[in-house]
Amino acid sequence: DTGVSQDPRHKITKRGQNVTFRCDPISEHNRLYWYRQTLGQGPEFLTYFQNEAQLEKSRLLSDRFSAERPKGSFSTLEIQRTEQGDSAMYLCASSVGGNYGYTFGSGTRLTVV
Amino acid sequence: RKEVEQDPGPFNVPEGATVAFNCTYSNSASQSFFWYRQDCRKEPKLLMSVYSSGNEDGRFTAQLNRASQYISLLIRDSKLSDSATYLCVASWGKLQFGAGTQVVVTP
């Protein structure tokens, strides 16, 4: 499968725990994006990388959130001290350049209890 | 005010009918526009890009009006499988999504 892969598909965690999600983009795509989506809303931009450089972070990304893309390939998104409001679908997408359509992964659905 | 606004619907459409809906975007510097389709609890999937001259892809027609900053999508001969949420997207360096328009095609 040469699409965007995300792991895990589902994560249930207790409030206060840390969680980490992984995204493997399409190999020839140099841009990687993280979005968050809650019920009834469209995906909201969190951050993006061009190769290994993190070029932009949304104000939605509090200091409990950190993302890395160490070798310009896969990326991780970590949430520390999770809160119930963090419950959402976390979507990763990749693209060639910034103004082309993105390919999304299947997402990681996080539930904080 | 949201950067991309859509009528949430639902638009209830009899099978075989035509349905059309719009979205508006606030950033006049937007460079690219798209429609994505999202099925319940699935990831968004690119339906089509939107060009100023208008473009068709089978039963789907998209239009862009830069002067009025709106984008439209028209679906002809609706199929039951067209039932989904349609996300309007404007891009200025990164994709900005609307909240989606729900379409329900009924037999």
* A19, A78 contact by CB (below 8 A): yes
Does residue A1 register a pLDDT over 60? no
Closest alpha carbon within chain A to B8? A40
Closest CA to B87 of B32, B47, B60: B47
Please give the pLDDT value at position B61.
97
Please give the pLDDT value at position A100.
73
Is the minimum CB–CB distance between A7 and chain B shorter than 8 Å? no
Residues from chain A that touch B45, judged by Cβ atoms under 8 A, are 104
pLDDT digits (tens, 9 = 90+) for B23-65: 999 998 888 999 999 999 899 999 999 988 889 999 999 999 9
Residues from chain B that touch A104, judged by Cβ atoms under 8 A, are 43-45
CA distance B25 to B70: 6
Cα B9 to Cα A16, B4, B83: the distances in Å are 37, 15, 12
A81 Ramachandran zone, left/alpha/beta (phi>0; psi -120 to 50): left
What is the Cα gyration radius of chain B? 13
Does residue A85 register a pLDDT over 70? yes
Closest alpha carbon within chain A to B100? A42
Q: How confident is the model at residue A98 (pLDDT cuts 50, 70, 90)?
A: low
Q: Which residues of A4-23 are buried (b: 16+ CB within 10 A; e: fewer)?
A: bebeeeebebeeeeebebeb
- Mind telling me how many Å the CA of A83 is from chain B's nearest CA? 22
Single-letter code of the amino acid located at A33: Y
B35: three-class secondary structure by DSSP = strand
Note whether A99 contacts B46, CB cutoff 8 Å.
no
Residues from chain A that touch B4, judged by Cβ atoms under 8 A, are 42
Average pLDDT, chain B: 94
pLDDT digits (tens, 9 = 90+) for A3-60: 999 999 999 999 999 999 999 999 989 999 999 999 999 999 999 999 999 999 998 8
Closest alpha carbon within chain B to A88? B41
**How many C-beta atoms surround the C-beta of residue B31 within 10 A?**
11
Residues 59-88 of A with CB under 8 A from B: none
Does residue B71 register a pLDDT over 90? yes
Note whether A41 contacts B32, CB cutoff 8 Å.
no
- Mind telling me how many Å the CA of A105 is from chain B's nearest CA? 7
CA distance A40 to A30: 30
Residues from chain B that touch A44, judged by Cβ atoms under 8 A, are 97
Between A100 and B78, the more confident residue is B78
Please give the pLDDT value at position A96.
87
